[in-house]
């Protein structure tokens, strides 16, 4: 099934409203931002992280204009020496390729073993934007609905207060 259709079907099944914008391929958040300029919603980036021994995986959703301090993430979460997850591990856990990581990758996490984190700063925004598991569209979903989506899939999440 088309990855975006899978996301849309999941959202429809959960009665979660969304707006989808189709656009040319966007390899980076900066490219995607160009295509969705002027549409209300925080532009997010979702980072797939792992610990040094690759025994734990994490998804962190934050504003795409913010840089992650890995030491701060380690202090806040207890993750041992966090780093970007390798492409093979990303595909194994979320069925995604680099450049299209989003919260919707959880639909593919058969083992339910990815820990989910949100930066508190984005939760006050009315909507968030993500790739719907492909990089030729951007989907906007209400912030509360994003949290409900994660819960509906059976995941807990934690809210982190990341420094600017």
What pTM did the predictor assign? 0.93
Structure-token pair, residue 4: 């975006």
Among 14-28, 54-68, 108-122, name the one with the lowest average pLDDT.
Answer: 14-28
**What pLDDT score does 78 carry?**
92
**What pLDDT score does 26 carry?**
81
40-88 per-position pLDDT tens digit: 889 999 999 999 899 999 999 999 889 999 999 999 999 999 999 999 9
How many Å apart are CA 111 and CA 85, to the nearest integer? 17
Is the pLDDT confidence value at 164 over 90?
Answer: no
């Amino acid at each position: 099934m088309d990855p975006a259709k899978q996301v849309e079907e999941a959202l429809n099944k959960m009665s979660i409203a969304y707006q989808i914008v189709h656009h040319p391929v966007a390899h980076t958040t900066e490219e995607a931002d160009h295509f969705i300029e002027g549409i209300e919603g925080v532009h997010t980036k979702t980072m797939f992280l792992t610990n040094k021994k690759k025994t734990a995986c994490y998804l962190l959703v934050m504003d795409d204009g913010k840089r992650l301090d890995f030491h701060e993430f380690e202090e806040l979460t207890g993750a041992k020496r966090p780093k970007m997850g390798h492409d093979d591990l990303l595909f194994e856990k979320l069925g995604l390729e680099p450049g299209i990581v989003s919260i919707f990758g959880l639909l593919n996490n058969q083992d339910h073993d990815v820990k989910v984190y949100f930066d508190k700063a984005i939760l006050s925004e009315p909507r968030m934007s993500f790739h719907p598991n492909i990089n030729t569209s951007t989907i906007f979903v209400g912030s509360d609905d994003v949290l409900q989506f994660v819960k509906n899939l059976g995941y807990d999440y934690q809210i982190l207060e990341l420094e600017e």
